[in-house]
Structure 1
Amino acid sequence: MLEPTYQADVVVVGSGIAGLSAARRLTGAGVTTVVLEAAHAVGGRMATEKIDGFRLDRIGQLLSTAYPELRPAAGLDGLVLRPFAPGVLLHSDGRHHRAGVPTGARGARGALHVVRALASAPRAGSAPRRPVAVPGRQVSAPRSRTGAPLGTAVDQARLGAAFTRLAGTPVERLLVRPELTAAEALLARGLPARTVDGFLRPLLAALLCDPDLTTSSRCADLALRAFAAGRLCLPEGGAEALPELLARGLPAGTVHTGVRATSVSTTSVTTAEHGEFRCRAVLIATDARAAAQLLPGLRVPDFHPVTVVHHATDEPPETGASLLLDADRGGPVTHTAVVSRVDPSRAPAGRALVSSTVLGPPGAQVDTDVRMHLSRLYGMSTARWETLAVHHTADAVPATPPPHDLRRPVRLLAGLYVCGDHRDTSTVQGALHSGRRASAAILADLGADRPLHTADPLPTPRAA
């Protein structure tokens, strides 16, 4: 019998960042690859809408400069990351408090020096002492021993030292810690209640897109480690800059948009528009729900819904390039920022873009409620702000409650693979890392001596 004629070695279904990063590695290894995308643009949920010179992210997930998959060595040397101001701003009792993260051994020694000095300070009623100076870091005494959302000055110094230790902890050690929910882990580790409620809860909610902190504590530890080891950031030009950079690195003709896959097997992908694509292996790189339609029996997780409200103003708040969190949780906004101060390309000259994130289902009057909350957070009127867009994504972020396997299998059987943020951590880092694992599995199998094609085509899923 004649050997089948292959149109490509590998067909990748889906052009999100997981599929595109896998395709980059496959083509770089000399494997002919075709990427099929049902939409008319690459990127999936990392989409950016353009309105009147503004660039508006649909979800606006926070990135970190500490993500290994975003480093130039990972093949993304053309990606420009715009960092927020160090740490975050916390809004509490009508005031803003800077929560910084000291890094490196020098920061750890400085934090320890503060702890020792404050522990030996006079008791209440004694003459007040001047704040302890730490090289390279400003330390200011709070209004009272419990006035700041981080707790006392001793609590703040201990937290800084803990972050420094966390930044240097190998990932492998974090992944063998006892697994709880993120909320349970915060309580179990004996941290001061003021520090947990005033800082760590709102910070983790923003990093995980999970307001109730039901996420696995291992995912939370990884998120906090990235926060401690790097800077929160945004890609210059909008979220779409990352998938577009990955797509530009592929050989011409690799990506085909407007092509919807209807069924898959280990040797082919059938599409609604262009018939059958023959291949030696298939990689499903769609979101979890679409993947389950092509792979009946694949588990579909729950999701954290995200709503992003974008406002334009000619008089931006005086918070600079800071990420602002509500330590009091007094409204729908989890975090907000003048993102045009972080990335000036996101707004036309003379105007500012304020992007705010609401976690959970949005209320009927989401824009009105967000405006009122932003007025309190920024300490200024928002009545004249222009609403540019309200983006609600029900399936924004896959939920990862414990027990959660952070390295879910990407190889279903020889010739059939799956990747995406639902196979790893629910972050940009997780999506890119799952693409790396999937491409490695495909390359290993394509180089093996045993036959690849041992399974019958999967049945076409019934219409919902």
Structure 2
Amino acid sequence: MTQTEDGGDVVVVGAGAAGLACAADLAAAGLRVVLLEAEDTVGGRMRTDRLAGFTVDRGFQVFNTAYPQVKRRLDLRALRLRPFTPGVLVHTDDGPRRFTDPSRRPRESRDLIPGRLASARDLLALGTLSARDVLAPAGHLRTRPDSTTLTALANAGISPELVETFFRPFLSGVFLEDELETSARFFHLVWRTMLRGTLCLPTDGIGAVPAQMASGLPDGVLRTGVPVASLTDRGVASADGGHHTARVVVVATGQSAAARLLPGLQVPRGRVVTTLYHAAQGSPLAEPTLMVDTRRRFLHTCVLTEVHRGYAVDGRALVSTSVLGDPGPGQEAAVLAALAEVYGADTRPWELVHRVVVRDALPAMPPPLALSRTTRFAPGRYVCGDHRATGSLQGALASGTRAAREVLADLRRPSAAL
């Protein structure tokens, strides 16, 4: 028997970052909101699991303190953030090179001496690019003519050598693509926030971020374990045969689910990434630093237990390594061999404690990229998520914010007929 429930004024489908932001703003405006989440807890892709004494996120993620929406919505102190080392280690054929911000770690900037990681000309071009991105108004970066990141780096005077030594291996892990075909607008905004903020992880894993947002919702708004099967003329139908009525429905899922629930919705291609979590008896790198590889055998690797010792409770080190796509066993063995080389460690005894494939991990963002798109899809139907903005926590939160703003504006119009 179908059970019909009053969904209030608005039903929001999906309790990831975008759905949580949208529901919070609508509830704060006095609307009756129901937030439906298919999983047993909130977060979407921002999930953390506890497996055999290890704290592992569903795919490697970092938290950037410089995002405006993060500053607005979250209590950073309560997250007990653990920072990564500013900069990255780049594994080259000549050994490791440290790419760091000299304004933060001047004593560790010796690899920025001309001739080690880059030429004097490249370092001047890089310094000019970085200064412009840090000091220019964000609005200027959003509206400048767009191109691919590869073209933007060339136009900034960055040589092909530095692109291959640093930018391609590093940005492949940021964009989840290795052609640097991502929008230059997005690159400049990301570079700006990296220089202005701190990359870190919450003590309890990335899942602590959506958990904190959910804790601020009014009682009765959030309902987990309710997968939505379809949208109806009067609301949404859940997979168990239930029905939630509402004047407005906001689809705040990932792009594939959004396209299924809203036939005709155009969504970008999704990027696929796999993260391998290995346990080692000792830490192969005694610092909380991301490492990338100029030969691009993996996207990035780091020792998570150097970020926070509590990510493993048995005293072993927890190493996270991400690769593009969904590699087979042979490719995983090759990754382990590459890790032996870059860490200078015997990886044969390492235990694979978790393997997670994240599909639609990020939306493809080729130029020209609209950094924010309307969430209006049809009368009474809205859609938000990072695929409607930029592939980042900032993008997801901003899109959820925009959805709430557009819903409220439409509901308050005197002639509104949703």
Normalised to the residue count of structure 1, the TM-score between the two structures is 0.83
- The match for 1:59 is 59
- The match for 1:162 is 129
Q: Distance in 2 between matches of 1:301 and 1:238?
A: 28
Give the Å deviation of 1:418: 0.7
1:200-226 C-alpha deviation (Å, 9 max, x unpaired) = 222211221222222111112211111
Q: Distance in 1 between matches of 2:371 and 2:379?
A: 22
Structure 1 stretches of at least 4 aligned residues deviating more than 4 Å after TM superposition: 139-145
One of 153, 165, 170 as aligned partner of 1:203: 170
Q: Distance in 1 between matches of 2:205 and 2:179?
A: 28
1:303–1:397: 8 Å Cα contact kept in structure 2? yes
Q: Distance in 2 between matches of 1:190 and 1:157?
A: 9
Q: 1:363 to 1:349 in 2, by over 3 A?
A: closer
1:284–1:418: 8 Å Cα contact kept in structure 2? yes
Of the two, which has the highest radius of gyration? 1
Letter in 2 for 1:42: V
Q: Distance in 2 between matches of 1:221 and 1:378?
A: 31
- The match for 1:214 is 181
2:236–2:244: 8 Å Cα contact kept in structure 1? yes
Q: 1:418 to 1:153 in 2, by over 3 A?
A: same
Q: 2:107 aligns to what SS in structure 1? A: coil
2:304–2:318: 8 Å Cα contact kept in structure 1? yes
Q: 1:41 to 1:357 in 2, by over 3 A?
A: same
Unaligned runs of 5+ in 1: 108-135, 454-464
- The match for 1:389 is 354
Letter in 1 for 2:349: R
| Mapped pair 1:241 → 2:208 | yes
Q: 1:180 to 1:319 in 2, by over 3 A?
A: farther
What are the residue-to-residue correspondences of 1:26-425 with 2, within 5 Å? 26-71=26-71, 73-77=72-76, 78-102=78-102, 137-138=106-107, 146=115, 148-149=116-117, 151-153=118-120, 155-156=122-123, 158-265=125-232, 267-329=234-296, 331=297, 333-348=298-313, 350-425=315-390
Give the Å deviation of 1:434: 0.6
Q: 1:374 to 1:94 in 2, by over 3 A?
A: farther
Give the Å deviation of 1:343: 2.6
1:237–1:343: 8 Å Cα contact kept in structure 2? no
Letter in 2 for 1:65: T
Letter in 2 for 1:307: T
Q: 1:258 to 1:341 in 2, by over 3 A?
A: same
| Deviation larger for 352-361 or 230-239 | 230-239
Q: 1:163 to 1:102 in 2, by over 3 A?
A: farther
Give the Å deviation of 1:403: 2.4
2:102–2:108: 8 Å Cα contact kept in structure 1? no
Give the Å deviation of 1:159: 2.0
Q: 1:180 to 1:154 in 2, by over 3 A?
A: closer
Letter in 2 for 1:204: L
Q: 1:221 to 1:142 in 2, by over 3 A?
A: closer
Q: 1:274 to 1:178 in 2, by over 3 A?
A: same
Q: 1:160 to 1:82 in 2, by over 3 A?
A: farther
| Deviation larger for 420-429 or 404-413 | 404-413
Q: Distance in 1 between matches of 2:211 and 2:310?
A: 16
Give the Å deviation of 1:94: 4.6
Normalised to the residue count of structure 2, the TM-score between the two structures is 0.92
Give the Å deviation of 1:352: 1.5
Give the Å deviation of 1:424: 0.4
Q: 1:448 to 1:194 in 2, by over 3 A?
A: same
2:133–2:141: 8 Å Cα contact kept in structure 1? no
Q: 1:266 to 1:231 in 2, by over 3 A?
A: farther
Give the Å deviation of 1:55: 1.1
Letter in 2 for 1:316: S
Give the Å deviation of 1:14: 0.8
Q: Distance in 1 between matches of 2:287 and 2:309?
A: 12
